[in-house]
Amino acid sequence: MELTNNNYYSQNANQEYFSVSQVKDFLKCEAYAMAKINGEWAEEPSTPMLIGSYVDSYFEGTLDDFKQRTPEIFKKDGTLKAEYVLAENVINKIESDELFMLCLSGQKQVIMTGEFLGAQWKIKMDSYIEQEAIVDLKIVKKVREIFYSRGGRQSFIENWGYDLQLAVYQEIVKQNTDATLDCIIAAADKQKYPDIACILLPNDQLDFQRRELAFKMPRIIAVKSGRENPQRCGICDYCRATKKLDRLVSSYELVT
């Protein structure tokens, strides 16, 4: 299947190729991931997602199309709702910064495919600076927000798996070009006065993510191919929407 901007997110493309977002779906809930792949479940876009898409589409040059497809971002009088006025503030902040704009100066939405860990992958890069860097634009709640996990303190990058995303991008680009490129996250946040940062990800962090992914992919491939049944997490939106009771539970189970 030849991928284009028109079919990249299609059901057929998602069935034929893996993407990092699809893998993260599987790690969240296998049943949820399969329902999305089979067209049985679709995420309703949240306001934070739409704000990010607003900024993304501006720098892609597709903002007019985005506005036509998402009338919910406008008030009855035709002006932008307050949340999307904030998105305009983010855009203005980004455009005022020379380094940030340099990171976004590459080719936009470049698609590549490759084979990795026994699967076919697709990637789509926000800014591809040929032979130099892969840049991913992220609009987040706070650039310097701290998250906590069993491994300790994390930035938004580790919390949301953006290092895994860039690890796969780096591998697929290397397969296509024989070059190992720097991976940069160009981040801006949604505070009243937006914070910005261009973050170079260390190669050892990307190597670690690829090694971790190698342990997880056999199970994910088996489920996607139908050789193994998907497990339900029981707590995501999909699982709650399709839940059928089959037994009584103890009150202790509600807190485990």
Tens-digit pLDDT profile for residues 126-136:
999 999 999 99
> Tell me: the pLDDT tens digits for 31-85?
999 999 999 998 888 888 889 999 999 998 899 999 999 999 999 888 888 888 8
CA 189/CA 191 separation, integer angstroms: 6
Determine the Cα–Cα distance for residues 230 and 223; give it in Å rounded to an integer: 6
Q: Is 115 a residue whose pLDDT tops 80?
A: yes
* DSSP assignment letter at 206: H
- Looking at residue 219, its pLDDT comes to 98
Place of tokens 């901007």: 5
DSSP 8-state code for residue 73: G
C-alpha of 180 from chain center:
21
What number is the average pLDDT over the span 6-11?
92
Collapsing DSSP to helix, strand or coil, 150 comes out as coil
- CA dist 162 and 55 (Å) reads 18
pLDDT reported for residue 176:
97
Return d(Cα 187, Cα 157) in angstroms, integer.
10
Nearest 5°: CA angle at 109, between 107 and 111? Answer: 105
pLDDT at residue 44, rounded to an integer: 85
What DSSP element (H or E) covers 126? strand 119-129
Average pLDDT, the chain: 94
Report pTM: 0.92
Region of poorest pLDDT, from 86-90, 113-117, 168-172, 218-222: 86-90
Go through the chain and tell me how many residues it has.
256
Question: Encoding tokens for residue 209?
Answer: 């993510």
What's the pLDDT score for residue 91?
A: 95
